[in-house]
Amino acid sequence: MSNPVSRRTVLKGAAATAGAAARDGTPVVESSALGLELGNGTVLGSNVTITEFQHWHVDDTWSPTFGRNASITEAYQEMRWNLRDVSTLINFSVTIRAYAQGVAFQYALLDTGSATIAGELTTFVFPGNTLVYSARDEDEYDVVAPGSR
């Protein structure tokens, strides 16, 4: 797989941590807010420092124990930013994995203990005239089958 991501950035803005992405020099996600709201009202992402950055490429094949395919090809680039919230000192990470067919995005809380995620504050701002395919699960943590309401 050739490099599917020509540029990935995470920026500390005045209001919130933000991310943007381009493929072959063309913006696919414009500057968009990143953040989590915890059950106690804490908002992560509005003022962070980067404690570590990692970037790697995977181009591998593996064999599942069952299923239709005898082998699965995994090819992607992954970037991970470990972040520390300045006001609470909570450590968390943002991981972005770019495949030829799309992207995956994940938050992880890195400290020990437990936390309740009350909401995700992430937005995705796409350039004009972008065709977007998405699931119809509009409630963040309540999966609803399309047409059931």
| pLDDT (tens digit per residue) in 76-86 | 999 999 999 99
Does 140 fall in a domain?
no
- 80: DSSP letter: E
Q: Are 125 and 29 in contact (CB under 8 A)?
A: yes
Q: CA gyration radius for the chain?
A: 17
Does 45 fall in a domain?
yes
Tell me what pLDDT residue 60 has: 94
Does 143 fall in a domain?
no
Tell me what pLDDT residue 67 has: 84
Tell me what pLDDT residue 66 has: 87
Does 138 fall in a domain?
no
Does 141 fall in a domain?
no
**69: domain CATH number?**
2.70.98.10
User: 3-state SS of 8-74?
Assistant: EEEEECCCCEEEEEEECCEEEEEEEEECEEECCCCEECCCEEEEEEEEEEEEEEECCCCCCCCCEEE
Q: How many domains does the chain have?
A: 1
pLDDT tens per residue across span 86-113 = 999 999 999 988 888 778 889 999 999 9
Does 112 fall in a domain?
yes
Tell me what pLDDT residue 139 has: 56
Does 125 fall in a domain?
no
Domain range enclosing 28 = 7-120
Does 144 fall in a domain?
no
Tell me what pLDDT residue 83 has: 93
What parts of the chain have a pLDDT lower than 50? Answer: 1-16, 141, 143-145
Tell me what pLDDT residue 135 has: 62
